[in-house]
């Protein structure tokens, strides 16, 4: 029961008790007054009537006596007037048993009144000649008492109702800030840090409001600081310490994103020739300076390129790469020539004409990252045979034909449900040491029985809008698995952006959840951080939709290269799974450790469970557990 209702009931009960006591006392006082007035009136009547009859009592049969008594009897509300002689013998008795119909019987029984009786002796000379008895009819007093009681009751009731209404208004005004504070606390718990600008006038509530405002601002600043720290640490983890270029794991992340996009791209593999021999002749410091100049050359070309979007990476040692998106073959060749010229200029500076060679391969959406890098490395070997600082661009082999074949295969597999769902990536809870989550993984084979590269399979399904049917089929298989195995942990199900945005997916999911409400909390829809970063509004709306269905959402592959930490606060997912490379080597890497600690701090503030993926070594696993995240897979 709310505080306002409790106060309303308590104060109303006090008011009711006060009004009831006051009403009872008022009725009793009126009754006492009426009884007193009746006694006085009866006595006055008896006295005056005795005086009036005194001259005629010499003759007890005198008709004037009865006439006088009738005149008095008819003028008032008398129950009985009786005249007796000196021997107590009744001479005249007048009675009236009239009942006042306006007074209910229960009122008469509940509030008894004394009947007023008065007497007066009648003297004839010096002798007592008789006694007159006057009895008033109590019905009239009851009528007056009842009328006063009814009038007093309605007045009291009106005042009581008015008082309660006024009390309700005062309580509403006084306690409304408490409701606002309650909403503010819930908003803070949900990651929305607002303040109450109009402070209440009640001193105690005003102090609480001020404290809540201070707490909200401090938590908001703390999260902003953690986000800034997280972004800085994440950026540092993604970049090579010496050259400042992004590392190979950033390249792999960008390639995963590229497979989700329908654009052309070229991958450049650039290797410095004979770096080990240069170390012997130039020394470590000179080599570091040379590598920085080389990286600066790549960065400048990437930044100054007007065609498409170009990113530079350092894989390791002497191996570098460029990823050029949204460019044609001619533009890729122009970029390769720019590299050739720049390397020649750099060679003159260091008196080494042959700096590096460049292998270029076009992006193939039906291939894999490893396959494309292999093609680029083969092109690099061809470039070494051409000449100094040369390049070689390897054209893709009939990609259109490959895509047509893949499309036919993908449609056949999905339409006929010729795929299996296995469950991998078992996440163990660090708190309970029990299975917390596992992920649904799709497997399919081609007509020869060979396993299909699932990345390419999903990419083609996404490209030709078949991914929605695939995601629906996987969800159905997961529900069957949960029911058949009677599992208690949650299962992550990957959803594509096309499925999330599909107009017919959500009604289908609503109907499905209605029929499976008992296991809805075990369904966790998994979305990639890159997809979320591209469509924040879409995913924010979808996550709210999923929560209404009592299902959960996980953002996977979370890293700050493509995803801002503020997105977590805005979207409020149930889980965040860190990028795979963050968990490996964390025990010996202070930067990774600081990153995960910061993520855990944000997760605790926003009530988001932080998970790690594919942690190999026992030391890394123990480090993750000590940091306090929810769990990790091995």
Instruction: List, for residues 419-451, the tens digit of each pLDDT value.
Output: 888 999 899 998 888 999 999 998 888 777 778
Tell me if residue 100 falls in helix, strand or coil. Answer: coil
The answer to whether the CB of 553 falls within 8 A of the CB of 543 is yes
Q: Identify which has the larger pLDDT, 102 or 630.
A: 630
Retrieve residue 484's tokens. 């058949």
Distances (CA, A) of 135 to 34, 72, 284: 15, 12, 133
For residue 532, name the pLDDT band (cuts at 50, 70, 90). Answer: confident
**Highest mean predicted confidence (pLDDT) among 19-23, 66-70, 284-288, 318-322:** 318-322
The residue among 523 and 62 whose pLDDT is bigger is 523
Beta bridge partners of 349: none
User: 142 versus 625: which is more confidently predicted?
Assistant: 625
pLDDT for position 494: 92
Contacts of 56 (CB under 8 A, 6+ apart): 62, 64, 65, 68
- Looking at residue 191, its pLDDT comes to 66
Burial 254-273 (b: 16+ CB within 10 A, else e): bbebbbbbeebbbbbbbbbe
Q: How far apart are CA 633 and CA 438, in angstroms?
A: 9
Q: b vs e for 480-500, b when ≥16 Cβ sit within 10 Å of the residue's Cβ?
A: ebbeeeeeeebbbbbbbbbbb
- pLDDT at position 130 is 86
Which two structure tokens, joined as six digits, stand for 443? 């497997």
Residue 554 has pLDDT above 70, yes or no: yes
What's the pLDDT band for 575 if we cut at 50, 70, 90? very high
**Could you give all domains of the chain from N- to C-terminal order, each with its CATH number?**
3-162 (3.30.450), 248-397 (3.30.70.270), 401-633 (3.20.20.450)
Residue bearing the bigger pLDDT, 73 or 523: 523
pLDDT of 399 above 60: no
Nearest to 531 by CA among 571, 591, 584: 571
Beta bridge partners of 576: 555, 610
Asked if residue 577 lies in contact with residue 554, where contact means CB atoms within 8 angstroms, the answer is yes
CB 602 within 8 A of CB 572: no
Instruction: Say which residues have a Cβ less than 8 Å from residue 57's Cβ, sequence separation at least 6.
Output: 65, 122, 124, 129, 130
* 525 vs 37, higher pLDDT: 525
76 Cβ neighbours under 8 A, 6+ residues apart: 41, 45, 136
Gap between the Cα atoms of 124 and 139, Å rounded: 35
Q: State the residue for tokens 């509030």.
A: 111
Per-residue pLDDT of 106-134, as tens digits, reads 777 788 878 788 888 888 777 788 888 98
Complete edge-to-edge strand list for the sheet that includes strand 319-325: 309-316, 319-325, 265-272, 356-362, 391-394
pLDDT at 150: 84
pLDDT at 2: 67
The radius of gyration of the chain's CA atoms, rounded to the nearest angstrom, is 49
Give the integer Cα–Cα distance in Å for 31 and 112.
Answer: 9
The yes-or-no verdict on residue 398 having pLDDT over 50 is no
Confidence of residue 514 (pLDDT cuts 50, 70, 90): very high
- Mean residue pLDDT across the chain: 83
Show the tokens assigned to 292: 């920085």
Does position 162 have pLDDT exceeding 50, yes or no? Answer: yes
CA distance 52 to 574: 104
Q: What tokens does 592 get?
A: 């990774």
Q: What distance in Å separates the CA atoms of residue 213 and residue 195, rounded to the nearest whole number?
A: 5
- The alpha carbon dihedral of 424, 430, 431, 432 has a sign of positive
Quick one: three-class SS letters along 253-275?
HHHHHHHCCCCCEEEEEEEECCH
- The span from the CA of 426 to the CA of 441, in Å, is 11
Q: If you average pLDDT over residues 198-206, what whole number do you get?
A: 72
What confidence category does residue 397 fall into, taking pLDDT thresholds of 50, 70 and 90?
A: low
C-alpha pair distances (Å), 417 with each of 236, 442, 492, 504: 44, 11, 20, 20
Is 297 or 285 the better-scoring residue by pLDDT?
297
Do the beta carbons of residue 422 and residue 377 sit within 8 Å? no
Q: What are phi and psi of 196, to 5 degrees?
A: -95, 115
Q: Which structure tokens are listed for 368?
A: 């894999």
Q: What span, in angstroms and rounded, lies between the C-alpha atoms of 324 and 329?
A: 11
Identify the bridge partners of residue 612 per DSSP, sorted by sequence position. Answer: 632
- Map residue 321 onto helix, strand or coil: strand
Say if pTM beats, i.e. exceeds, 0.85. no
* Residue 307 scores a pLDDT above 80: no
Predicted pLDDT of residue 473: 92
* Token pair of 104 as six digits: 């209910």
Spell out a b/e string for 346-384, using b for 16 or more CB atoms within 10 Å of the CB, else e.
bbeeeebebbbbbbbbbbbbbbebeebbebbbebbebbb
Q: Closest by alpha carbon to 141, among 47, 69, 76?
A: 76
The mean pLDDT value for 70-82 works out to 79
Q: Quote the CA–CA distance of 188 and 595 in Å, as a whole number.
A: 23
Percent of the chain, pLDDT > 90?
Answer: 16
Listed in order, strand segments (DSSP E) in 25-104 are: 78-85, 90-95
Let me know how many helices (H) and strands (E) the chain has, helices first: 21, 17
Long-range contacts of 211-218 (CB under 8 A, 24+ apart): 212/181, 212/184, 212/185, 215/188, 216/184, 216/188, 217/193
Provide the CA 290 distance to its chain's centre, in angstroms. Answer: 54
């Amino acid at each position: 029961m709310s505080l306002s209702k409790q106060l309303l009931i308590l104060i109303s009960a006090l008011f009711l008790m006060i009004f009831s006591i006051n009403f009872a006392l008022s009725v009793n006082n009126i009754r006492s007054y009426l009884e007193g007035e009746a006694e006085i009136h009866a006595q006055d009547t008896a006295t005056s009537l005795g005086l009036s009859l005194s001259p005629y009592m010499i003759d007890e049969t005198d008709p004037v006596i009865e006439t006088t008594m009738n005149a008095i009897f008819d003028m008032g509300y008398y129950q009985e007037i009786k005249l007796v002689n000196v021997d107590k013998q009744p001479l005249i008795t007048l009675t009236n048993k009239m009942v006042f119909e306006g007074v209910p019987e229960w009122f008469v029984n509940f509030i008894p009144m004394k009947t007023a009786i008065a007497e007066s002796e009648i003297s004839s000379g010096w002798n007592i000649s008789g006694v007159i008895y006057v009895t008033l009819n109590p019905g009239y007093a009851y009528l007056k008492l009842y009328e006063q009681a009814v009038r007093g009751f309605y007045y009291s009731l009106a005042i009581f109702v008015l008082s309660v209404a006024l009390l309700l208004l005062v309580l509403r005004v006084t306690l409304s800030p408490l409701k606002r504070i309650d909403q503010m606390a819930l908003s803070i718990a949900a990651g929305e840090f607002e303040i109450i600008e109009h402070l209440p006038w009640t001193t105690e509530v005003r102090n609480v409001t001020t404290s809540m405002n201070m707490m909200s601002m401090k938590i908001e600043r703390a999260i902003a600081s953690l986000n800034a720290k997280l972004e800085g640490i994440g950026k540092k983890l993604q970049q090579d310490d010496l050259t400042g270029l992004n590392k190979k794991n950033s390249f792999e992340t960008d390639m995963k994103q590229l497979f989700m996009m329908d654009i052309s791209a070229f991958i450049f593999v650039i290797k410095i020739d004979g770096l080990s021999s240069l170390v012997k002749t130039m020394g470590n410091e000179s080599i570091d300076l040379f590598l920085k100049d080389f990286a600066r050359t790549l960065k400048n070309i990437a930044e100054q390129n007007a065609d498409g979007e170009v990113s530079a990476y350092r894989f390791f040692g002497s191996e570098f790469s460029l990823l050029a998106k949204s460019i044609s073959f001619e533009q890729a060749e122009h970029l390769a020539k720019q590299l050739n010229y720049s390397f020649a200029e750099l060679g003159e500076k260091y008196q080494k004409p042959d700096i590096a060679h460049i292998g270029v391969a076009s992006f193939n959406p039906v291939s894999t990252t490893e396959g494309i890098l292999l093609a680029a490395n083969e092109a690099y070997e061809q470039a070494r045979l051409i000449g100094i600082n040369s390049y070689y661009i390897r054209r893709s082999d009939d990609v259109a034909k490959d895509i047509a074949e893949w499309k036919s295969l993908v449609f056949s597999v999905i339409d006929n449900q010729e795929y299996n769902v296995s469950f991998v990536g078992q996440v163990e809870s660090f708190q309970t040491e029990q299975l917390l989550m596992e992920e649904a993984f799709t497997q399919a084979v081609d007509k020869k029985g060979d396993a299909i590269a699932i990345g390419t399979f999903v990419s083609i399904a996404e490209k030709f809008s078949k991914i929605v049917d695939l995601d629906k089929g996987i969800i159905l298989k997961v529900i069957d698995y949960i029911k058949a195995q009677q599992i208690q942990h949650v299962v992550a199900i990957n959803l594509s952006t096309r499925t999330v945005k599909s107009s017919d997916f959500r009604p289908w999911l609503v109907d499905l959840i209605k029929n499976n409400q008992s296991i809805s909390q075990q369904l966790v829809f998994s979305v990639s951080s890159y997809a979320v970063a591209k469509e924040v509004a879409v995913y924010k709306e979808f996550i709210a939709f999923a929560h209404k269905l009592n299902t959960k959402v996980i953002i996977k592959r979370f890293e700050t290269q493509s995803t801002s930490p503020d997105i977590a606060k805005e979207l409020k997912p149930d889980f965040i799974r860190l990028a795979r490379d963050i968990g490996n080597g964390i025990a010996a890497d202070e930067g990774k450790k600081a990153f995960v600690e910061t993520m855990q701090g944000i997760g605790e503030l926003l009530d988001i469970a932080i998970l790690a993926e594919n942690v190999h070594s026992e030391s890394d696993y123990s480090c993750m557990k000590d940091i306090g995240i929810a769990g990790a897979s091995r």
